[in-house]
Amino acid sequence: MAHQAHAYHMVDPSPWPLTGAIAALLMTSGLAIWFHFHSTTLMTLGLILLLLTMYQWWRDIIREGTFQGHHTPPVQKGLRYGMILFITSEVFFFLGFFWAFYHSSLAPTPELGGCWPPTGITPLDPFEVPLLNTAVLLASGVTVTWAHHSIMEGERKQAIQSLALTILLGLYFTALQAMEYYEAPFTIADGVYGSTFFVATGFHGLHVIIGSTFLAVCLLRQIQYHFTSEHHFGFEAAAWYWHFVDVVWLFLYVSIYWWGS
């Protein structure tokens, strides 16, 4: 049987890029159809296809790396570059929303009362739940680092415990933020204050959910012995993403919650 004479990964033909592209088409067109014709069928179909694509694509990557051994050092280097570039693109995504916030808050218009927060807006107290949220995410940064060291040192039980604790802290943040959203005295429709607040913190919250899900997958893999003390890039990628989410929150807290009040 012929074997490759290089260390790179020549992937098997896969249907998931096609199904993913169709899912994106269905979600975007479905959004337009929902807005104009009040039907959510197309968008829902797109979402289901997206979930199926993500599950099978990432399942295949786990098979290729952990079961087939395709993730050699040069391949892993490429995966590292890829994750770093992706996180960089997300940084730029959030940069846009921070630009919008500072554009409106540094020079508040007469329509807002010439002040920030605008007239009529009662901002959230930054030293109540938002401060707790900051502590929760900072603590989760500690626990995910503890999990990493546990994996590197072959401490299976500690790795599982610290990873589970990280996920619980992420869920706690999400629950607290959901409660804050419900109890807030202002809405997304309350001028540019509402828009910048809920879009920036809303996308951040979505990323917390994505990060928690990624960590949960890593927890399942750690329990199933997928990670070795030398090779656990999936976990490292999840940890990098989690630290990124934490840093975005710190900027949100200082800019919108604290300075912006």
Partner 1 sequence: MFRHFLTLQQVSRRQISSTVRRQLDNNVPDKQKLFQEANGIPVHLKGGVGDAVLYRATMGLTVLGAAYVIYELVKAALPQKKD
Q: Is the dihedral of CA 57, 199, 181, 90 positive or negative?
A: positive
What's the one-letter identity of residue 128? E
How far CA 192 is from CA of 42, 92, 105, 110, 117, in Å, comes to 31, 21, 9, 13, 10
What's the one-letter identity of residue 23? A
17 makes contact with partner 1 (CB under 8 A): no
14 makes contact with partner 1 (CB under 8 A): yes
162 makes contact with partner 1 (CB under 8 A): no
Helix (H, G, I), strand (E, B) or coil at 54: helix
Q: Give the span between the Cα atoms of 107 and 123, in whole angstroms.
A: 18
Tokens of 89: 């693109």
For 258, the enclosing helix (H) or strand (E) is: none
Per CB under 8 A, the list member of 37, 185, 189, 230 interacting with partner 1 is 37
Per CB under 8 A, the list member of 72, 131, 156, 203 interacting with partner 1 is 156
Helix (H, G, I), strand (E, B) or coil at 230: coil
Per CB under 8 A, the list member of 7, 8, 12, 178 interacting with partner 1 is 12
67 makes contact with partner 1 (CB under 8 A): yes
31 makes contact with partner 1 (CB under 8 A): no
Question: x/- string (CB under 8 A) for partner 1, residues 111-130?
Answer: --------------------
206 makes contact with partner 1 (CB under 8 A): no
Q: What's the min distance (Å) between Cβ of 65 and partner 1?
A: 11
Residues 243, 182, 209, CA angle at the centre, nearest 5°?
A: 25
53 makes contact with partner 1 (CB under 8 A): yes
Residues that bind partner 1 (CB under 8 A): 1, 11-16, 18-19, 22-23, 25-26, 29-30, 32-33, 36-37, 41-42, 45-46, 48-49, 52-53, 56, 60, 63-64, 66-69, 154-157, 223-226
